[in-house]
Amino acid sequence: MKSILAIVAFLMLFNINGFAQQNINAYKYVIVPNTFNFLNEPDQYQINSLTKFLFKKYGFTALMADEEYPQDLTNNRCLALFADVEKLKAFLNTKLQVHLRDCNNKIVISSEVGESREKDYDKVYNLALREAFNSFDKLNYTYQPNEEIVFKGNKTTTETVENNDAKEEIQRLQREVEELKAKRVREEIALRASEKNKTLQDIQPEVKQEVKKVLKTEAKSDETLQTLFANPVENGYTISDASSKVLYHLVFSGKEDVFIVKGQDAILYKMNNTWIVAKANDAGVSMKTLNVKFN
């Protein structure tokens, strides 16, 4: 009876090892993190560096998580297994177990438990980890491409290309939208400028008539008018009195000797060497002559 149980146990162990061997050979790389949960800092006691070293010792292509990946791994992270070292609860000794997880965080294989009774952390972790890695020595790992895993990479690459094409199309459309917005702004500016010029042209005959009236009703010489001073500023002039108080802010209209008075529904217009302020009001247009000296 005992011999039968021993044979059954052996067969079960053989099948489990064979299954683990088949599974682990399907992965091309092992990624080792820069730290493990039971450590307080990256590569403390050089446990992470030792983990990478031991994987390479037993035939695996091991990479640290912060290393530059090969192109096939960049395209398909499922080609790799991700290493994790777990510290198990124990009394008076230290126990470590190594797990390898796939890209879906599913454990593919776990090592035997390695343990040590050393008190020095540098030694105890080193010895326990090396003992746990004896499990991988027995596997005789050899990479054998698996169609399902490789297909994930092809699918991912295709999706990446499609995503990149979609991003480029979105960026192209965004550029077109921005160009249309800019064109619309330019058209609005041109339209407003055209309307202003048209308004000036429309009121010029009226201004001329009103100026004649003003010149008749305001029979004042230049000597009787207060002298004002035009000082150049950006896009026009400011009109100030002798005390430097700004009375008007003029903006270029695009027409010679015609200025728009900023902040008022008015223009400054030169007629027969006389400057006239024409301002719209409820009664129509009021006129006022100015004695302006342009600097």
**Pair (8, 141) in one structural domain:** yes
Query: Could you give phi then psi for residue 179, rounded to 5 degrees?
Result: -65, -40
133-151 burial, b at 16+ Cβ within 10 Å, e below that, comes to bebbeebebeeeebeebbe
- Say how far apart CA 269 and CA 277 lie, in whole Å: 6
Does residue 157 fall inside a structural domain?
no
Please state, in angstroms and rounded to a whole number, the distance separating the CA atoms of residues 213 and 207.
10
The amino acid present at 217, given as its one-letter code, is T
Domain co-membership, 6 together with 141? yes
> In which residue are the tokens 């921005």 written?
178
* pLDDT given for residue 96 in this prediction: 96
Predicted local distance difference test score (pLDDT) of residue 166:
64
Tens digits of residue pLDDT in 260-292: 998 888 898 888 888 888 888 877 778 888 888
Where does residue 204 fall: left (phi above 0), alpha (psi -120 to 50 degrees), or beta otherwise?
Answer: alpha
In a domain, 178, yes or no: no
Instruction: With respect to residue 154, please indicate whether it lies within any of the assigned structural domains.
Output: no
Domain-embedded: residue 167: no
CATH number, domain of 78, equals 3.40.50
Whether residues 137 and 12 share a domain: the answer is yes
**Positions in the chain short of pLDDT 50:** 1-2, 4-21, 158, 217-223
133 and 230 in a single domain? The answer is no
62-107 per-position pLDDT tens digit = 999 999 999 999 999 999 999 999 999 988 899 999 999 999 999 9
Amino acid symbol at 156 = T
Q: Nearest to residue 261, comparing CAs of 275, 251, 274, 247? A: 251
**101, 129, 145 - which closes a domain:** 145
Residues 95 and 221 in one domain: no
Name the H helices within the chain: 2-24, 47-57, 71-75, 121-132, 134-137, 147-217
110 within 8 A of 16, measured Cβ to Cβ = no
203 φ/ψ angles, rounded to the nearest 5 degrees: -90, -10
pTM of the model: 0.48
Does residue 27 sit in the same domain as residue 140?
A: yes
| pLDDT score at 263 | 87
Rounded to whole angstroms, what are the CA distances from 113 to 13, 81, 94, 177, 201? 17, 19, 10, 62, 96
Return the pLDDT at 265: 86
Query: DSSP readout, 180-236?
Result: HHHHHHHHHHHHHHHHHHHHHHHHHHHHHHHHHHHHHH----TTTSPEEEEEEETTE
Q: Quote the pLDDT of residue 5.
A: 42
Domain boundary among 95, 121, 145: 145
Give the strand pairing for 266-271 and 29-32. Answer: unpaired
Task: Give the pLDDT of residue 7.
Answer: 39
- Range of the structural domain that residue 278 is part of: 204-294
Query: How many of the other CB atoms lie within 10 Å of CB of 185?
Result: 10
Residue 181 belongs to some domain of the structure: no
Domain boundary among 145, 168, 194: 145
- Look at residue 198 and tell me if it is in a domain: no
Strand pairing partners for 260?
A: 251, 267
In the block, which residue shows the tokens 């050089």? 46
**How many structural domains is the chain composed of?**
2
Q: What pLDDT does 210 receive?
A: 56
CA distances from 291 to 23, 93, 212 (A): 99, 104, 17
Closest CA to 277 of 255, 295, 293, 292: 292
